[in-house]
DNA sequence: ACACTGACCACTG
DNA sequence: CCAGTGGCCAGTG
């Protein structure tokens, strides 16, 4: 298996995202100490397929846009999962994003 | 060992 | 406003 630290950390943080809340790749990256390692978070999320516990649908980009939706089973899967938690999505974008944004730096 | 890629972000022109 | 570039870390060819 891998010895990658960030991958494991990213997954652990993602698992801590409360239901009905969302966070951004950059926020997780910053929490882990990466200034601009948001890409790694995206890569980690891609690897998160092995971890069904990781709610990848709660991780969006800094604009609240569902950039990762294309990587789900279906392009609409991510939005449906979010709406099932009470998160409204309009035009691939989380509504009230700022309000439900979960920042690990502050809340964790 | 080298080059390229990736579910991103911020800056510059 | 849109396009391009650098930066971060790990994986793959």
> Helices A38-47 and A5-15 meet at what angle, rounded to 10?
80
Q: How far is the CA of A83 from the C1' of C8 (A)?
A: 32
pLDDT tens track for A43-88 = 999 999 989 999 999 999 999 999 999 999 999 999 999 999 999 9
Tokens found for residue A19:
């239901």
DSSP letter at A36? S
Residue A68, nucleotide of least CA–C1' distance: B7
The pLDDT score that the predictor gives to residue A35 is 84
Please tell me the number of Cα atoms within 13 Å of A89 on its side-chain side: 25
Question: Which nucleotides of chain B does any protein CB come within 7 A of?
Answer: 6-10
Cα distance between residue A34 and residue A16, in whole Å: 19
Contacts for A43 with CB less than 8 Å, ≥ 6 apart? none
Q: How confident is the model at residue A3 (pLDDT cuts 50, 70, 90)?
A: low
């Amino acid at each position: 298996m891998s010895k990658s630290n960030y991958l494991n950390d990213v997954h652990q943080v993602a698992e801590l995202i409360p239901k009905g809340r969302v966070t951004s790749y950059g926020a997780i990256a910053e929490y882990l100490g990466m200034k601009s390692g948001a890409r790694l978070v995206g890569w980690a999320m891609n690897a998160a397929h092995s971890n069904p516990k990781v709610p990848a649908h709660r991780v969006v980009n800094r604009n609240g846009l569902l950039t990762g939706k294309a990587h789900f089973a279906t392009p609409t899967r991510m939005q449906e999962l979010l709406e099932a938690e009470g998160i409204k999505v309009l035009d691939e974008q989380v509504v009230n994003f700022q309000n439900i944004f979960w920042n690990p730096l502050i809340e964790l």
